[in-house]
Amino acid sequence: MATLVMASLRARRLCCTCASSRGSSGRGAGRQAATEGNRLSKVLAAMGVASRRASEALIFDGVVTVNGEVVTTPQLRVDPRKDKIRVRGKTLAATPPRSVYYALNKPKGYLCSNKSDTSSGKLVMDLFEERFEKEEERRKKKGESVGARPRLFTVGRLDVATTGLLLVTNDGQWAQKISHPSNGLTKEYIVTAAHKTTKAQLSKVAEGAEFDGTRITPVAVAPLLDSAEKIRIVVNEGKYHEVRILVENAGINLKNLKRVRVGGFRMPRNLKVGQVMNLNSKEKAMVLDKRLQSLPD
Protein backbone atom coordinates (compact mmCIF):
# COMPACT_ATOMS: atom_id res chain seq x y z
CA MET A 1 0.00 0.00 0.00
CA ALA A 2 2.91 2.36 0.74
CA THR A 3 4.16 2.00 -2.87
CA LEU A 4 0.71 2.73 -4.29
CA VAL A 5 0.29 5.88 -2.23
CA MET A 6 3.75 7.11 -3.17
CA ALA A 7 2.97 6.59 -6.83
CA SER A 8 -0.30 8.48 -6.67
CA LEU A 9 1.32 11.48 -4.99
CA ARG A 10 4.54 11.63 -7.06
CA ALA A 11 2.76 13.71 -9.70
CA ARG A 12 2.42 16.44 -7.09
CA ARG A 13 6.17 16.38 -6.43
CA LEU A 14 5.73 15.06 -2.93
CA CYS A 15 8.89 13.26 -1.86
CA CYS A 16 7.72 10.39 0.28
CA THR A 17 9.86 7.94 2.14
CA CYS A 18 8.64 4.71 3.61
CA ALA A 19 8.85 4.29 7.36
CA SER A 20 8.08 1.55 9.77
CA SER A 21 4.48 0.60 10.48
CA ARG A 22 2.67 1.88 13.55
CA GLY A 23 3.09 -0.42 16.57
CA SER A 24 3.05 -4.16 16.04
CA SER A 25 -0.13 -4.21 13.97
CA GLY A 26 1.79 -3.77 10.72
CA ARG A 27 -0.67 -1.17 9.51
CA GLY A 28 0.27 1.97 7.63
CA ALA A 29 3.61 2.99 6.18
CA GLY A 30 4.95 6.38 7.25
CA ARG A 31 6.03 9.01 4.73
CA GLN A 32 7.70 12.38 4.97
CA ALA A 33 6.75 14.76 2.20
CA ALA A 34 8.22 17.91 0.76
CA THR A 35 7.23 21.36 1.95
CA GLU A 36 3.93 21.55 0.03
CA GLY A 37 0.71 21.70 2.02
CA ASN A 38 0.13 20.82 5.66
CA ARG A 39 0.15 17.64 7.72
CA LEU A 40 -2.84 15.45 6.95
CA SER A 41 -3.91 15.32 10.61
CA LYS A 42 -3.79 19.13 10.84
CA VAL A 43 -5.83 19.47 7.65
CA LEU A 44 -8.51 17.09 8.96
CA ALA A 45 -8.74 19.07 12.20
CA ALA A 46 -8.93 22.38 10.35
CA MET A 47 -11.69 21.00 8.13
CA GLY A 48 -13.75 20.11 11.17
CA VAL A 49 -13.46 16.33 10.90
CA ALA A 50 -12.32 15.87 14.50
CA SER A 51 -9.75 17.12 16.99
CA ARG A 52 -6.10 16.71 16.04
CA ARG A 53 -5.68 13.61 18.20
CA ALA A 54 -8.94 12.06 16.97
CA SER A 55 -7.95 12.84 13.38
CA GLU A 56 -4.70 10.95 13.87
CA ALA A 57 -6.69 7.98 15.17
CA LEU A 58 -8.87 8.04 12.04
CA ILE A 59 -5.76 8.02 9.86
CA PHE A 60 -4.21 5.14 11.77
CA ASP A 61 -7.49 3.23 11.46
CA GLY A 62 -7.20 3.36 7.66
CA VAL A 63 -10.44 5.24 6.97
CA VAL A 64 -8.73 8.23 5.28
CA THR A 65 -7.78 8.24 1.61
CA VAL A 66 -5.79 10.75 -0.42
CA ASN A 67 -6.30 10.67 -4.18
CA GLY A 68 -7.96 7.28 -3.92
CA GLU A 69 -5.31 5.57 -1.81
CA VAL A 70 -5.46 4.72 1.90
CA VAL A 71 -2.99 6.77 3.96
CA THR A 72 -2.08 5.80 7.51
CA THR A 73 0.57 8.45 8.14
CA PRO A 74 -0.59 11.68 9.87
CA GLN A 75 2.64 13.49 8.82
CA LEU A 76 1.86 13.25 5.10
CA ARG A 77 1.65 16.73 3.60
CA VAL A 78 -1.47 17.45 1.57
CA ASP A 79 -3.25 20.39 0.00
CA PRO A 80 -7.06 20.08 0.03
CA ARG A 81 -7.23 22.44 -2.95
CA LYS A 82 -5.25 19.94 -5.05
CA ASP A 83 -5.71 16.58 -3.32
CA LYS A 84 -8.95 14.64 -3.06
CA ILE A 85 -9.27 13.68 0.59
CA ARG A 86 -11.97 11.31 1.83
CA VAL A 87 -12.90 10.24 5.36
CA ARG A 88 -15.05 7.11 5.53
CA GLY A 89 -15.95 7.67 1.89
CA LYS A 90 -17.01 11.31 2.32
CA THR A 91 -15.07 13.88 0.33
CA LEU A 92 -13.71 16.91 2.17
CA ALA A 93 -14.41 20.35 0.75
CA ALA A 94 -11.53 22.25 -0.83
CA THR A 95 -11.82 25.10 1.66
CA PRO A 96 -12.40 24.98 5.43
CA PRO A 97 -16.02 25.44 6.54
CA ARG A 98 -17.14 28.26 8.80
CA SER A 99 -16.23 27.37 12.36
CA VAL A 100 -19.14 26.92 14.76
CA TYR A 101 -19.17 26.62 18.53
CA TYR A 102 -22.03 25.27 20.63
CA ALA A 103 -22.80 24.51 24.26
CA LEU A 104 -25.32 21.74 24.85
CA ASN A 105 -27.08 20.79 28.07
CA LYS A 106 -26.86 17.06 27.39
CA PRO A 107 -29.83 14.94 28.46
CA LYS A 108 -29.47 11.52 30.02
CA GLY A 109 -29.60 8.62 27.57
CA TYR A 110 -27.68 10.21 24.68
CA LEU A 111 -24.35 8.94 23.37
CA CYS A 112 -21.44 11.20 22.42
CA SER A 113 -20.86 9.47 19.09
CA ASN A 114 -20.91 10.44 15.42
CA LYS A 115 -21.63 6.90 14.27
CA SER A 116 -25.04 6.48 12.69
CA ASP A 117 -24.98 2.68 12.96
CA THR A 118 -24.96 2.52 16.75
CA SER A 119 -27.49 0.14 18.24
CA SER A 120 -28.23 2.58 21.08
CA GLY A 121 -30.33 4.83 18.89
CA LYS A 122 -30.13 8.25 20.55
CA LEU A 123 -27.07 10.33 19.68
CA VAL A 124 -26.05 13.80 20.82
CA MET A 125 -25.86 14.84 17.17
CA ASP A 126 -29.56 14.06 16.76
CA LEU A 127 -30.27 17.10 18.94
CA PHE A 128 -28.78 19.35 16.24
CA GLU A 129 -30.95 18.04 13.38
CA GLU A 130 -33.94 20.29 14.10
CA ARG A 131 -31.63 23.27 14.54
CA PHE A 132 -30.03 22.70 11.13
CA GLU A 133 -33.38 22.10 9.44
CA LYS A 134 -34.76 25.41 10.74
CA GLU A 135 -31.63 27.27 9.64
CA GLU A 136 -31.78 25.71 6.17
CA GLU A 137 -35.46 26.61 5.83
CA ARG A 138 -34.73 30.18 6.86
CA ARG A 139 -31.98 30.46 4.25
CA LYS A 140 -34.21 29.02 1.53
CA LYS A 141 -36.94 31.58 2.25
CA LYS A 142 -34.38 34.36 1.92
CA GLY A 143 -33.06 32.88 -1.31
CA GLU A 144 -29.68 32.22 0.25
CA SER A 145 -27.44 29.27 -0.49
CA VAL A 146 -27.94 26.50 2.05
CA GLY A 147 -24.53 24.86 1.74
CA ALA A 148 -23.27 21.74 3.47
CA ARG A 149 -23.87 21.16 7.15
CA PRO A 150 -20.80 21.45 9.39
CA ARG A 151 -19.15 18.20 10.49
CA LEU A 152 -19.74 18.47 14.22
CA PHE A 153 -18.07 16.50 16.99
CA THR A 154 -18.06 16.71 20.77
CA VAL A 155 -15.13 18.13 22.71
CA GLY A 156 -14.48 15.15 24.93
CA ARG A 157 -17.32 12.93 26.06
CA LEU A 158 -19.95 12.48 28.73
CA ASP A 159 -21.14 8.94 29.33
CA VAL A 160 -24.70 8.04 28.43
CA ALA A 161 -26.00 8.50 32.00
CA THR A 162 -24.28 11.86 32.66
CA THR A 163 -26.00 15.15 31.92
CA GLY A 164 -24.86 18.75 31.61
CA LEU A 165 -22.38 20.87 29.72
CA LEU A 166 -21.04 19.43 26.50
CA LEU A 167 -19.12 21.55 23.98
CA VAL A 168 -19.72 20.76 20.31
CA THR A 169 -17.79 22.25 17.39
CA ASN A 170 -16.21 21.64 14.01
CA ASP A 171 -12.97 23.41 15.00
CA GLY A 172 -10.46 20.66 15.68
CA GLN A 173 -7.70 22.98 16.85
CA TRP A 174 -9.96 24.69 19.42
CA ALA A 175 -11.08 21.27 20.66
CA GLN A 176 -7.44 20.18 21.01
CA LYS A 177 -6.62 23.21 23.18
CA ILE A 178 -9.48 22.33 25.50
CA SER A 179 -8.79 18.61 25.69
CA HIS A 180 -5.01 18.49 26.02
CA PRO A 181 -3.95 18.04 29.68
CA SER A 182 -0.99 20.43 29.29
CA ASN A 183 -3.39 23.38 29.02
CA GLY A 184 -4.60 22.84 32.59
CA LEU A 185 -8.33 23.25 32.01
CA THR A 186 -10.51 21.68 34.67
CA LYS A 187 -14.03 20.24 34.58
CA GLU A 188 -16.59 20.71 37.32
CA TYR A 189 -19.37 18.26 38.19
CA ILE A 190 -22.31 18.22 40.58
CA VAL A 191 -22.90 14.83 42.19
CA THR A 192 -26.34 14.08 43.60
CA ALA A 193 -26.24 11.18 46.04
CA ALA A 194 -29.16 8.95 46.96
CA HIS A 195 -28.50 9.80 50.62
CA LYS A 196 -26.86 12.44 52.81
CA THR A 197 -23.10 12.36 52.49
CA THR A 198 -20.75 12.35 55.47
CA LYS A 199 -17.52 14.21 56.10
CA ALA A 200 -15.70 10.89 56.00
CA GLN A 201 -17.07 10.17 52.54
CA LEU A 202 -16.06 13.61 51.28
CA SER A 203 -12.55 13.07 52.65
CA LYS A 204 -12.43 9.70 50.90
CA VAL A 205 -13.38 11.32 47.57
CA ALA A 206 -10.67 13.97 48.08
CA GLU A 207 -8.05 11.27 48.71
CA GLY A 208 -8.57 9.88 45.22
CA ALA A 209 -8.72 6.31 43.96
CA GLU A 210 -6.78 3.77 41.94
CA PHE A 211 -8.11 3.12 38.46
CA ASP A 212 -6.55 0.99 35.75
CA GLY A 213 -3.14 1.23 37.40
CA THR A 214 -3.30 5.02 37.75
CA ARG A 215 -3.99 7.21 40.76
CA ILE A 216 -6.81 9.68 40.07
CA THR A 217 -7.17 12.62 42.46
CA PRO A 218 -9.70 15.45 42.20
CA VAL A 219 -8.64 19.08 42.21
CA ALA A 220 -11.38 20.07 44.66
CA VAL A 221 -14.25 18.49 46.59
CA ALA A 222 -16.88 20.54 48.40
CA PRO A 223 -20.44 20.02 49.66
CA LEU A 224 -23.19 22.24 48.32
CA LEU A 225 -24.53 24.38 51.13
CA ASP A 226 -28.14 24.12 49.95
CA SER A 227 -28.25 20.31 49.87
CA ALA A 228 -26.77 17.56 52.04
CA GLU A 229 -27.02 15.15 49.10
CA LYS A 230 -25.01 17.23 46.60
CA ILE A 231 -21.25 17.47 46.14
CA ARG A 232 -19.15 19.63 43.85
CA ILE A 233 -16.16 17.80 42.35
CA VAL A 234 -13.50 19.37 40.12
CA VAL A 235 -11.14 17.19 38.07
CA ASN A 236 -8.27 17.92 35.70
CA GLU A 237 -8.77 15.69 32.69
CA GLY A 238 -12.24 14.33 33.28
CA LYS A 239 -11.24 10.83 32.19
CA TYR A 240 -13.99 8.43 31.28
CA HIS A 241 -15.98 7.51 34.45
CA GLU A 242 -13.38 9.28 36.62
CA VAL A 243 -15.93 11.08 38.82
CA ARG A 244 -18.12 7.98 39.12
CA ILE A 245 -15.12 5.95 40.28
CA LEU A 246 -14.16 8.56 42.89
CA VAL A 247 -17.72 8.64 44.25
CA GLU A 248 -18.27 4.90 44.30
CA ASN A 249 -14.88 4.36 45.94
CA ALA A 250 -16.10 6.56 48.83
CA GLY A 251 -19.21 4.42 49.31
CA ILE A 252 -21.58 7.04 47.92
CA ASN A 253 -24.64 5.77 46.08
CA LEU A 254 -24.73 7.97 42.99
CA LYS A 255 -28.14 9.19 41.86
CA ASN A 256 -27.25 11.83 39.25
CA LEU A 257 -24.08 13.26 37.74
CA LYS A 258 -24.06 16.60 35.94
CA ARG A 259 -21.19 18.60 34.43
CA VAL A 260 -21.59 22.35 34.92
CA ARG A 261 -18.27 23.83 33.79
CA VAL A 262 -15.47 23.25 31.30
CA GLY A 263 -12.44 25.51 31.69
CA GLY A 264 -13.64 29.02 32.43
CA PHE A 265 -17.10 28.59 30.91
CA ARG A 266 -19.96 27.74 33.27
CA MET A 267 -23.20 26.44 31.80
CA PRO A 268 -25.91 29.12 32.06
CA ARG A 269 -28.69 28.27 34.50
CA ASN A 270 -31.34 29.06 31.90
CA LEU A 271 -29.98 26.54 29.38
CA LYS A 272 -32.58 23.80 29.68
CA VAL A 273 -31.89 20.09 29.27
CA GLY A 274 -31.61 19.27 25.57
CA GLN A 275 -31.14 22.89 24.54
CA VAL A 276 -28.24 24.22 22.47
CA MET A 277 -26.72 27.69 22.51
CA ASN A 278 -24.26 29.34 20.15
CA LEU A 279 -21.06 30.49 21.81
CA ASN A 280 -20.06 34.02 20.88
CA SER A 281 -16.43 35.11 20.73
CA LYS A 282 -16.40 36.14 24.41
CA GLU A 283 -17.89 32.83 25.59
CA LYS A 284 -15.53 30.89 23.35
CA ALA A 285 -12.57 32.68 24.93
CA MET A 286 -13.96 32.03 28.44
CA VAL A 287 -13.59 28.29 27.92
CA LEU A 288 -9.80 28.67 27.60
CA ASP A 289 -9.45 31.25 30.40
CA LYS A 290 -8.00 29.48 33.44
CA ARG A 291 -8.56 32.58 35.61
CA LEU A 292 -12.30 31.85 35.53
CA GLN A 293 -11.97 28.31 36.90
CA SER A 294 -12.47 29.17 40.59
CA LEU A 295 -15.42 27.67 42.46
CA PRO A 296 -18.52 29.86 42.75
CA ASP A 297 -19.18 31.59 46.04
Catalytic residue positions, numbered? 159
Inter-helix orientation angle 199-207/242-249, to 10°: 130
| Cβ–Cβ under 8 Å, residues 268 and 260 | no
Sequence-distant (6+) residues with CB within 8 A of 25 are none
Residue 111: phi, psi to the nearest 5? Answer: -90, 140
Q: Which residues pair with 192 in a beta bridge?
A: 230, 256
Strand ranges (DSSP E) for the chain? 38-39, 64-66, 69-70, 77-78, 85-87, 90-91, 101-106, 153-154, 163-169, 187-193, 209-211, 214-216, 220-223, 230-235, 254-262, 265-266, 276-278
CA separation, residue 113 to residues 91, 107, 118, 121, 164 (Å): 20, 14, 8, 11, 16
Selection from 240, 273, 255 nearest residue 164 by Cα: 273
